[in-house]
Amino acid sequence: MKKLLQPRRSTIILSIISTCFLVFTKCINDENDKIQEKKNDTLQDKNAIEEAKKISFAEFAGSSACVNCHKDITQKHGHTAHYRTSQPATEKNIKGSFKANKNIYAYNPSLLVAMEKRDSGLFQVVYYKEEEKMDLRFDMTIGSGAKGQSFARWKNNWLFQLPITYFTAADRWANSPGFPNKILADRPITVRCLECHSTFTEQLSSTGKEADEFDRNRIIYGVDCEKCHGPAAKHVQFQTQNPKETTGKFIINPAKLSRQRNLDLCALCHGGQIQKRKPSFSFTAGDDLSEYFVVDSLSDAAAKTGNFDVHGNQYGLLRASKCFRMSATLTCNSCHSPHQNERGKVALFSQRCMECHNTEHQSFCKMDPGKVPGLEQNCIDCHMPAQPSRAIALFLPGKDIPVASLIRSHFITVYRTETEKFLEDKRKKNKKG
């Protein structure tokens, strides 16, 4: 009997082993299929990114086409920092002096750069031991000049940043942010730079070089109407042909967007170090920013500990603020008018604070207005003080330590030290008065 059972047992064992082997093989094959599917999905995602919607220069009308119907808004917007954030580098548009003794940045007694007007244009001219070594043409301004202004030059179809920047706070020429203490003329301007400093810049096909190539004749300078309202060529054509049509067609009205889509418009350039998922200038008004970028978040803890820079991620700072978290409607436009230059109008911004923070809502400032005259005219210096930026710090001639630009923090909270300074300044003014 035992002899009969042994072959049968062997057969059963072999069957089990074979079955296990087949199952194991199937698992491996299934896993390989999943890996291949993931590879295919990744490839499809990559192709989708490469085939992302492309906005062409022809789709834009330019702000001059907006004047016919929106003259007042267009003219006011022309005075904003957004509009002036990039311009052709004419003498009118360049901040900083070209006059003798005010036009020099000296790295050391032997090496200096002079800002000079010549028959062929405006230049940063490099001198070593009083001998001219290089002239770098001003072709484009980058920055409105409210804090400072950098400059770029064309070399064929590439843009390069000039070594000298204008620093508004000191009213002086300074070494460009992040530049070494020596002449540097080959730092490229990337398409991501221009995505925030222009309404549209047409990028030429890639040549495999590190720097991005551009069509210099297809640039819409500044952050203009179409940056926030979308390309408007179709809109202008339709409204021109249908002058009685009062509802705007083929145009985005940001006021009608959801809160997050409205915030996305600002976060494109004020959202910190966001990383591209799709080519620059693919995102347009009304799009979901997270589909085009990995958005940089900022925690409340980071804001409170000061582990952030006040320049760049105003969006993250605002989101970390209690004001934002307690509101269902607060956006950047709750405080800022994109159509007008309101820089420095502290009382105006304070009035907007008090639309929410008032005695009716029992959320007014805890300081006694009777003891601090004019308190309602300035909420900003205590709750959004100007702070030194680590990102925008420039070397002035003869200085070993960079001077930081002061930028208002958009993390809205109580800054004890700044409040004490504010009260002390008030006391001194009252004594003089």
Under 8 Å CB-to-CB from 14, ≥6 apart: which residues? none
Match 């003869």 to its residue by tokens. Answer: 398
**How high is the pLDDT of residue 410?**
94
* HSE of 262, CA atoms in CB hemisphere, 13 A: 16
What's CA 63's distance to the chain center, in Å? Answer: 21
What is the pTM assigned to this prediction? 0.82
- What are all long-range contacts of 344-351, with beta carbons under 8 Å and residues at least 24 apart? 346/377, 346/378, 346/380, 346/381, 347/377, 347/378, 349/379, 349/380, 350/376, 350/377, 350/378, 350/379, 350/380
- Integer Cα distance of 76 and 367 in angstroms: 36
- Contact at 8 Å (CB) between 222 and 93? no
Structure tokens at 123: 């230049």
User: What distance lies between CA 85 and its chain's CA centroid?
Assistant: 11
pLDDT band at 362 (very low <50, low <70, confident <90, very high): confident
Percentage of residues in the chain with pLDDT exceeding 90? 62
Cα separation, 377 vs 354, in Å, equals 10
**Residues forming a β-bridge with 222:** 198
User: What is the DSSP track for 22-49?
Assistant: HHHHHHHHHHHHHHHHHHHHHHHHHHHH
- Residue found by looking up tokens 């409340």 in the block: 300
- Lowest mean pLDDT, pick from 82-86, 228-232, 378-382: 378-382
pLDDT band of residue 112 (cuts 50, 70, 90) is very high
pLDDT: which is higher, 306 or 218: 218
DSSP 334: G
323 and 356 Cβ atoms separated by less than 8 Å:
yes
Token duo for residue 272: 């910190």
Phi and psi at 322, nearest 5°, equal: -65, -35
Numbers of helices and strands, H then E, in the chain? 12, 17
- Residue 44 binned pLDDT confidence (cut-offs 50, 70, 90): very low
What is the pLDDT of the chain when averaged over all its residues? Answer: 85
C-alpha to C-alpha distance for 329 and 259, rounded to whole angstroms: 7
pLDDT given at position 398: 78
pLDDT-derived band at 304 (thresholds 50, 70, 90) equals low
Chain centroid offset of residue 153 CA = 21
Is residue 353 within 8 Å of residue 360, measured between CB atoms?
no
pLDDT of residue 5: 44
pLDDT for res 24:
41
pLDDT of residue 12: 46
257 against 363, higher pLDDT = 257
More confidently predicted of 167 and 206:
167
User: CB neighbours of 361 closer than 8 A, spacing ≥ 6?
Assistant: none
Range picked from 53-57, 318-322, 386-390 for highest mean pLDDT: 318-322
pLDDT above 60 for 415: yes
Res. 178: pLDDT tops 60: yes
Instruction: Tell me the average pLDDT across 178-190.
Output: 89
Nearest to 89 by CA among 181, 161, 191: 161
Give the CA distances from residue 426 to residues 259, 352, 374, in Å, rounded to whole numbers and listed in that order.
Answer: 38, 22, 9
* Per-residue pLDDT reduced to its tens digit, 376-405: 889 999 999 999 887 788 888 877 788 888
pLDDT of residue 45: 39
3-state percent breakdown (helix, strand, coil) of the chain, nearest 5: 35, 20, 45
CA 405/CA 393 separation, integer angstroms: 6
Residue labelled with tokens 């809160």: 259
pLDDT(357) > 80: yes
CA separation for the pair 219, 152 (Å, rounded)? 14
Q: How far out from the chain centre does Cα 154 lie?
A: 22
Please answer whether residues 354 and 363 qualify as being in contact, where contact means their C-beta atoms are separated by less than 8 angstroms.
Answer: no
Helix (H) or strand (E) holding 127, with range, is strand 121-128
For the chain, state the CA radius of gyration: 29
Structure tokens at 195: 């995505």
pLDDT at site 302? 63
Q: Quick check: 405 and 167 in contact, CB under 8 A?
A: yes
Of 209-213, 390-394, 404-408, the range with the highest mean pLDDT is 404-408
Collapse the DSSP code of 201 into the 3-class scheme (helix H, G, I; strand E, B; otherwise coil) and give the result: strand
The conformation of residue 395, written as its DSSP 8-state character, comes to: B
Task: Please give the C-alpha separations between residue 250 and each of 63, 153, 193, 284, 325, in angstroms, as whole numbers.
Answer: 16, 36, 28, 13, 33
Structure token digits, residue 116: 């000079």
| Owner of token pair 């979901």 | 288
